[in-house]
Every structure is written in structure tokens, then in C-alpha cells.
């Protein structure tokens, strides 16, 4: 067998694997959407759950998921991007940096259930916050921090390779170079990492079971406070997200149509993740075109 024949065979194998992955994803998403095809009804999206009765909605869980997403990203993004900037531009290779990288890799390999138990001991018990939005957001931040740090570091290193020396040679400071040139150039890749972290937040259940709790009372927006437990915006109230609600429905069977509600909730969850991914691609492309002069 010649080298050309081997190349054709392996090319065909790789194409077949790629097609298989695409078909598998389409079948999986199609099955979820088919079983939850009635998920977009307003009564389901904006209705409250009914304990012991059929026909409930997911409004509290949907709000909790978005609120958990915002709070967690407010914690994760500054820490993750800041750590990426430090490792890529400021840290000098040595024993301390090696220890930091080892710690980040170890955090990335921890199962979410372990992070949830850590959050239960530290954020729920030791701090006295109890099952709350803040405890859940911090636990998810621990999960997402390593991946966002690595994505940010790689993106900043790739972006700085072509512009850093030129900028410094023109008299710009290191921070001016990072803020004005490197970060805008690396922003599409960093944004991709943020979107991946957002999808992880929406789909996370194990860590949130032990930190955010499984309570989703009807929302009353008359009270706006970050500390009052009766306010939907409170950081110190329990918050059951969509993924936790799916687990709860399938494990407890508290309503007659639990399977149907779980299927529709799964469809909404997958739809949100797809919207995030598509939006990140579009936004990342627009940002790249803006800073690369293609507009």
C-alpha cells in the first residue's frame, strides 16, 4: 500500500468520524426537542410549578438559572481572565508558576460532586450563608475557573505574539499593550471560553444540589434586595435551577406528569445552550472583524 493510498484511507476515516459525531448530535438534540416539543408555550415558560398536580410551569427555575448565570460569571470572568493575563504576560517561568499551573490542572480534574461537597462545607456551613444563590455561584465558579483561565492564557499568548513587541517598541507600557491591543485581539477566543462556562452553569446540577438547594417558591418582584430572602434578587435565598429541577422530577416523581415536564424542561435547557453558542460565534466574529479592520 502506497503512502497516497494510506492518506486517502485515513482521510476517509476522519471524515466518517466527523459525520458520525454530527449525526449523533443532531439525533440527540432532535430527540430532546421532539419529546419536549410543547416547551415553548407561555403557560409553561412563565407558570409556577404545581406540587401534586399536573400542568405546572418552570418560571422560578428559569429565572434562577439566568440569575445564577449572571452572579457566577461576575465572579468567574474577572478571576479567570485576570489569571490568564498574569500567567501569559507577567508570570516568569519557575517553581511558583509550576505550582500554580498544577493547582489549576488539579481543580480542572475535580468531579463536580466533590466541588459540591466542598461548597456545602465551606460556602453553606462555615460562612453561614446556607443553601443560597451565592453559595451555588461560588461553587460553579470553582468549577469554571480553571477552564476559563487556560482559554484566556492561550488566547492572550496567541494574540500577543504578533503585536506585543511592536507595541512595546513604540513606547507603550505593558498594561497599555494588554488593554488596547492584546485583549481586543484575544476577545473572540475569551468570549468562547465564557460561553462554554455559561453552558456549564446551565447544565450543572451536582454542585448546585449541595449549595443552591432545591427550593423554587413563586417569585414576587415587589421586593428588590440582594440580602432580603423574600426578594427574587436576593443572594442569600435558595435557588433551584433548571438542571436541578430535571433531576428532582425524575428522582422524586412529585407530580403526575413529571416525565413530560422533565422532557420540556430539557428542551428549554438545550435551547438556551444552543442560543448561547450561536450568539457567541456571531458576536465573536463581529468583534474580530471590528478589531482586525475587516469592517
| Cell numbers 415536564: residue | 261
Tens-digit pLDDT profile for residues 252-268: 767 777 888 888 888 88
Residue 228 has a pLDDT of 79
Taking the CA atoms of residue 159, residue 161, residue 163 and residue 165 in that order, the dihedral angle to the nearest 10 degrees is 150
| CB proximity list for 159: less than 8 A, separation 6 or greater | 181, 182, 183, 185, 186, 189
Q: What are phi and psi of 219, to 5 degrees?
A: -85, 135
Q: Which of the four pLDDT bands, split at 50, 70 and 90, describes residue 291?
A: low
Dist. CA 163–CA 173, nearest whole Å: 13
Q: What pTM was estimated for this model as a whole?
A: 0.84
The structural domains of the chain, ordered by start, are: 36-292 (1.10.3720.10)
Three cell numbers written together for 43: 403557560
| Cell numbers 500554580: residue | 100
Q: What is the mean pLDDT of the chain?
A: 84
DSSP codes, 135-182: HHHHHHHHHHHHHHHHHHHHHHHHHHHHHHHHHHHTT--HHHHIIIII
Amino acid at each position: 500500500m502506497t503512502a497516497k493510498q494510506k492518506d486517502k484511507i485515513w482521510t476517509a476515516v476522519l471524515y466518517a468520524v466527523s459525520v458520525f459525531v454530527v449525526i449523533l448530535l443532531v439525533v440527540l438534540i432532535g430527540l430532546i426537542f421532539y419529546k419536549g416539543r410543547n416547551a415553548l408555550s407561555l403557560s409553561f415558560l412563565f407558570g409556577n410549578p404545581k406540587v401534586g398536580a399536573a400542568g405546572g410551569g418552570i418560571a422560578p427555575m428559569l429565572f434562577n438559572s439566568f440569575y445564577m448565570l449572571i452572579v457566577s460569571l461576575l465572579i468567574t470572568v474577572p478571576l479567570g481572565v485576570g489569571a490568564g493575563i498574569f500567567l501569559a504576560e507577567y508570570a516568569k517561568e519557575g517553581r511558583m508558576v509550576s505550582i500554580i499551573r498544577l493547582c489549576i490542572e488539579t481543580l480542572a480534574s475535580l468531579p463536580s460532586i466533590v466541588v459540591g461537597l466542598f461548597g456545602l462545607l465551606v460556602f453553606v456551613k462555615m460562612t453561614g450563608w446556607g443553601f443560597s444563590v451565592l453559595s451555588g455561584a461560588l461553587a460553579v465558579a470553582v468549577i469554571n475557573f480553571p477552564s476559563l483561565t487556560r482559554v484566556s492564557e492561550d488566547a492572550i499568548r496567541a494574540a500577543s505574539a504578533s503585536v506585543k513587541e511592536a507595541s512595546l517598541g513604540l513606547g507603550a507600557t505593558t498594561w497599555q499593550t494588554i488593554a488596547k491591543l492584546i485583549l481586543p485581539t484575544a476577545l473572540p477566543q475569551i468570549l468562547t471560553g465564557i460561553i462554554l462556562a455559561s453552558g456549564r452553569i446551565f447544565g450543572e446540577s451536582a454542585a448546585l444540589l449541595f449549595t443552591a438547594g432545591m427550593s423554587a417558591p413563586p417569585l414576587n418582584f415587589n421586593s428588590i434586595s440582594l440580602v432580603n430572602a423574600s426578594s427574587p434578587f436576593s443572594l442569600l435565598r435558595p435557588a433551584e435551577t433548571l438542571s436541578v429541577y430535571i433531576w428532582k422530577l425524575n428522582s422524586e416523581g412529585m407530580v403526575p406528569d413529571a416525565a413530560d415536564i422533565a422532557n420540556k424542561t430539557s428542551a428549554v435547557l438545550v435551547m438556551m445552550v444552543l442560543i448561547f453558542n450561536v450568539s457567541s460565534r456571531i458576536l465573536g466574529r463581529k468583534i474580530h472583524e471590528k478589531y482586525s479592520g475587516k469592517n
